[in-house]
Amino acid sequence: MLTTEEYSRILDVLEREPNKGEVAVFEAMWSEHCSYKSSKRWFHLFNVKAPYVELGIGEGAGLINLGDDLLVGIGLESHNHPSAISPYDGAATGVGGIIRDILSQGCKPIAILDAIRFGELEKSQHSQYLLENVVRGISFYGNCCGIPTVGGEVEFAPQFENNCLVNAMCVGVVQKSKVVRSIAAKPGSFLVLYGARTGRDGIHGVSFASKDLSDKSDRDRPAVQIGDPLMEKILIDVTLELVEKELLDGLQDLGGGGLSCAVSEMTHKGNTGAIIRLEDIHLREDDMEPWEILVSESQERMLAVVECDKLDEVVSILNRQDLTYGVIGEVTDNSHCIAYSRGEKIVDLPVDLIVDGFPEPERITEKPDYLKEEDSVVPDFEDLNQEIIKLLSSPNIGSKAWVYQQYDQHVQTQTVVPAGSDAAVLRLDNGKHIALSLDCNSFMVYLDPYNGTANSAAEAMRNLIATGAKPLAFVDCLNFGNPENPDSYWQFVESIKGLGQFSHDFNIPVVGGNVSLYNESFIEDKRERINPSPTIGMIGIIENPEKLIKNSFQEKGNFVVTIGECDGNLNGSEFLRNNFGILQGKISQYDKQKEVSSRKAIENLNQSGYIKSCHDVSNGGLITALAEMTFENEIGVKLDLLENDSFIKLKLEEFLFAETPSRYVIEIHSEHIESATKIIEGKVSFNIIGKTNSQPKIEIENFLILEIKQLKNAWNKAISQYMED
């Protein structure tokens, strides 16, 4: 709904009352979801430039030039509210929408990743239901479209019980000469709407996504779009043919806000206007009102800008593929968006007013009351072995195979490293490899939005470094609470500052993303807010495939080395949260120099050919990294710590469970350890902590022996035990 101030602005500019159709357009376009009215004022804090960035923030996909005129497109979107009330359709259409965002720049979609968050599985059948159906929706849509789902992340916390998060990322490729922009720049060009017919599904979707959930939100189920992945597959193939033949002068998908959004945004970017005829749009329901047609968010639709001399060929291709289409209007030079329905003018609005004419709302920040910097105290425990088993049994730490095994990860035959590793790796047609990661630690962001967000971005970077990739760019999906609440808005602003600092520190630009606010709910008059969750999707390049690094121990008799120093800080760790229910205290601070030193050490060692395997240290700490490195090949490790300078300063639980940033575990062949240490000595903190062996166990001196079989069993069942009968 429009605010009183917003409606007054409309009256002032138009000097008349808007009609029903015009109000519907403003309600869609001035919603938080479409306008970014609470967030875009902070985007100046991001680094958005790099020599290889061909297209940045502002269109469906950011475009990165990998050389040889091959561009990679990357985008990340949320579909949180729809998934909370209709998980299957909400998740499926979230995937469909981000695929079309990539497609709108002319990219062939080659991979999907997803970041999903739910309540605690062990305590909530509702969260089990949401997880099952969200994963089913993602799987069905991606598999039917023939696009591999190759990675992502899953997180569980009680704060996501009523507000689950579903963020979908898509990656595509396009030759530089074939790029299409989401711009209508040439008056006289035709507007062609093609794909599925327009129905009532998704009406008011962006308005629904721009308010808190409540126990009455189920009434908004009609605002959730219904997806058809088989139609999407046809849409992809037809669009790529039109792109290859260079028949399109502009292209945008119809997502949030529907036709009203696509037409106004494309003309706004082109400094043009448009006339559209609603009777030329093919409908699923004949009794739709004009305003419903304008804001319908029916899926699998694209709006193309086609020059006059290319229209016949475009129409021929659409007819040959038996794809529904309509030539619904023309681009004009009058900077107005005008819509007719059977000769009656329904809308006549200045494009500038529609897109960015809203009054900027006042937002206040206030540090939340819950933040206390008292350090956590580790409760007494009797059996360290059992605490490790309990940690690996956490759904946040354990295997996500129950999720990703439902996805086709190898269709298109480009997947080199699938889900389950630090980062997914794909082979491109030019022989180069790209690595992809998707990360956020919402618990750390909850305790410290600035440092938690910067460290989450650094974690996404470390995942790429651990595979041998050079990070290039990232997209973000900023999931937060109600910006009208000062404490929620404080979380958002601090997080943006941390993310911006990271982007400048490492010269890794932000090339796109999404903001999802109002992730709060009022259930039985009780306010519930998600953990702030700025999800980071990062892409890197592996120029030489021979430098691809494995994530699991490869041989017995090799040295195990930690890169980076452990500070012993357990605040915010999964060990304290999962094992003892403690989430408080001051977390480890983001430290650019430590991240730089560790990164250079890994890159230099890999360039010299000394790294046999590598795993970054993050959720669950060192013990989790070590355990995961043993699982694939069942190669054990014995740690010798009593004379280790890093260990003797810490308690054993601090050494094993602290999630201190800037750290990696690497495996180095025994013949190369001396040469390897010379490369990094004096440049980064490192410790030789033990050696791999043929015994299927992790042995810490002589006082703790962990059987790999037992660890792996606990890790494997972390999610599946709640999801399988």
Question: What pLDDT is attached to residue 44?
Answer: 97
- How far apart (Å, rounded) are the C-alpha atoms in residues 39 and 27? 18
Q: Please write the tens of the pLDDT for every residue from 430-444.
A: 889 999 999 999 999
pLDDT class of 212 with cuts at 50, 70, 90: low
Residue 339 burial by Cβ neighbours in a 10 Å radius (0-12, 13-18, 19+): buried
171, 436 in Cβ contact below 8 A? yes
Q: In what order do the strands lie in the sheet with 686-693?
A: 611-616, 664-668, 559-563, 686-693, 636-639, 697-700, 704-707
Q: pLDDT value at position 222? A: 55
User: What residue has token string 């959730």?
Assistant: 224
Q: Cα separation of 427 and 431, whole Å?
A: 6
The topology under which CATH files domain 549-725 is: Phosphoribosyl-aminoimidazole Synthetase; Chain A, domain 2 (3.90.650)
Model confidence at 320, pLDDT cuts 50, 70, 90, reads very high
Which helix (H) or strand (E) segment holds residue 100: the answer is helix 87-103
Q: Which of 79, 204, 336, 615 is catalytic?
A: 79
User: Is the model's pLDDT at 288 over the cut of 90?
Assistant: yes
Q: Predicted confidence band at 221 (pLDDT cuts at 50, 70, 90)?
A: very low
- At 702, the pLDDT band (50, 70, 90 cuts) reads confident
Average of pLDDT values for 91-115?
Answer: 96
Q: 18 and 347 in contact (C-beta within 8 Å)?
A: no
Helix (H, G, I), strand (E, B) or coil at 665: strand
Mean pLDDT across the stretch 85-89? 92
Of 502 and 410, the one with more pLDDT: 502
Other residues' Cβ atoms within 10 Å of the Cβ of residue 287: 7
* Chain region(s) in the chain for CATH 3.90.650.10: 1-30+183-358, 549-725
DSSP state letter for 469: P
Over the Cα atoms of the chain, what is R_g? 26
User: Is 635 in a helix, a strand, or coil?
Assistant: coil
- What value does the mean pLDDT take over residues 468-490? 97
Q: Answer yes or no: is pLDDT of 290 > 90.
A: yes
Q: Are 590 and 458 in contact (CB under 8 A)?
A: yes
Ranking 90-94, 520-524, 672-676 by mean pLDDT, the lowest is: 520-524
pTM, rounded to two decimals:
0.94
1-30+183-358 domain in CATH 3.90.650.10? yes
Confidence band, pLDDT 50/70/90 cuts, at residue 344: very high
Distance from CA of residue 161 to its chain's centroid? 20
80 pLDDT higher than 80: yes
> What values do phi and psi take at 213, rounded to 5?
-80, 160
What is the model's pLDDT at position 185? Answer: 97
Q: Is 33 an active-site residue?
A: yes
For the chain, give percent helix, strand, coil, nearest 5. 40, 25, 35
**Residue 219 predicted with pLDDT over 60:** no
Tokens coding 532: 């702030």
| pLDDT score, position 223 | 53
Type and span of the H or E element at 698:
strand 697-700
DSSP SS3 for 333: coil
**pLDDT over 50 at 217, yes or no:** no
Share of the chain above pLDDT 70, in %: 96
Distance in angstroms (rounded) separating the CA atoms of residues 661 and 46: 22
Residue bearing tokens 């991001």: 46
Q: Average the pLDDT over 264-269 and give the result.
A: 97
Q: How far is CA 266 from the centre of its chain?
A: 25
CA atoms within 13 A on the CB side of 277: 11
- Report pLDDT for 226: 79
Tell me the average pLDDT across 665-683.
96
Cα separations in angstroms, 432 against 428, 496, 545, 568:
6, 32, 7, 39
- How many Cβ atoms sit within 10 Å of the Cβ of residue 320? 10
| pLDDT band, very low/low/confident/very high, at 220 (cuts 50, 70, 90) | very low
Place of tokens 């409606």: 7
Quick one: pLDDT at residue 419?
83
Chain centre to alpha carbon of residue 598? 25
Burial group, residue 593, by CB count within 10 angstroms (0-12, 13-18, 19+): exposed
More confident position, 376 or 506: 506
Query: pLDDT at residue 211 above 70?
Result: no
23-71 pLDDT, tens digit per residue, is: 999 999 999 989 999 999 999 999 999 999 999 999 999 999 999 899 9
Q: How confident is residue 208, by pLDDT bands cut at 50, 70 and 90?
A: very low
Question: Which tokens is 395 given?
Answer: 């759904």
Q: In the prediction, which pLDDT does 232 show?
A: 95
Please say if the pLDDT value at position 259 is more than 70.
yes
Closest to 338 (Cα-Cα) out of 272, 417, 415: 272
* Rama region for 247: left / alpha / beta (φ>0; ψ in -120 to 50; rest): alpha
Closest CA to 193 of 254, 122, 139: 254
**Cβ pair 36, 78 in contact under 8 A:** no
Residue 506 and residue 471 in contact, taking contact as beta carbons nearer than 8 Å: yes
Least confident of 170-184, 202-216, 339-353, 680-694: 202-216
Digit-coded pLDDT (tens) for 560-593: 999 999 999 999 999 999 999 999 999 999 999 9
Span of 314-323, 517-526, 547-556 with lowest mean pLDDT: 517-526
Q: Evaluate if residue 214 carries a pLDDT over 70.
A: no
Q: What is the rounded distance in angstroms from the CA atom of residue 582 to the CA atom of residue 116?
A: 23
- How much is the pLDDT for 179? 97
Contact 685/604 with Cβ under 8 angstroms?
A: no
Q: Is the pLDDT of residue 724 over 90?
A: no
Spatial neighbors of 657 by CB under 8 A, at least 6 apart, are: 391, 570, 573, 574, 575, 576, 620, 621, 622, 623
Residue 155 has pLDDT above 90, yes or no: yes
Annotated active-site residue 81? The verdict is no
Query: Band of the pLDDT at 213, cuts 50, 70, 90?
Result: low
* Mean pLDDT score of the chain: 93
* CB contact burial 363-396 (16+ within 10 A = b; e otherwise): beeeeeeebeeeebebeeeeebeebbbbbbbbbb
Render pLDDT for 40-53 as a digit per residue (tens, 0 to 9): 999 999 999 999 99
* Mean pLDDT across 642-663: 84
Using 50, 70 and 90 to split pLDDT, how confident is the model at 139?
Answer: very high
The pLDDT assigned to 646 comes to 64
Residue among 158, 231, 115 nearest 578 (CA): 158
Higher local confidence (pLDDT), 407 or 278: 278
648 pLDDT more than 90: no
**Span 298-318, mean pLDDT?**
97
Residue 669 has pLDDT above 50, yes or no: yes
Q: Is the pLDDT of residue 708 over 80?
A: yes
State in Å, rounded, how far the first CA of the chain is from the last one: 44
Does residue 668 carry a pLDDT above 60?
yes
510: which strand partners?
474
Nearest 5°: phi and psi at 40? -70, -15
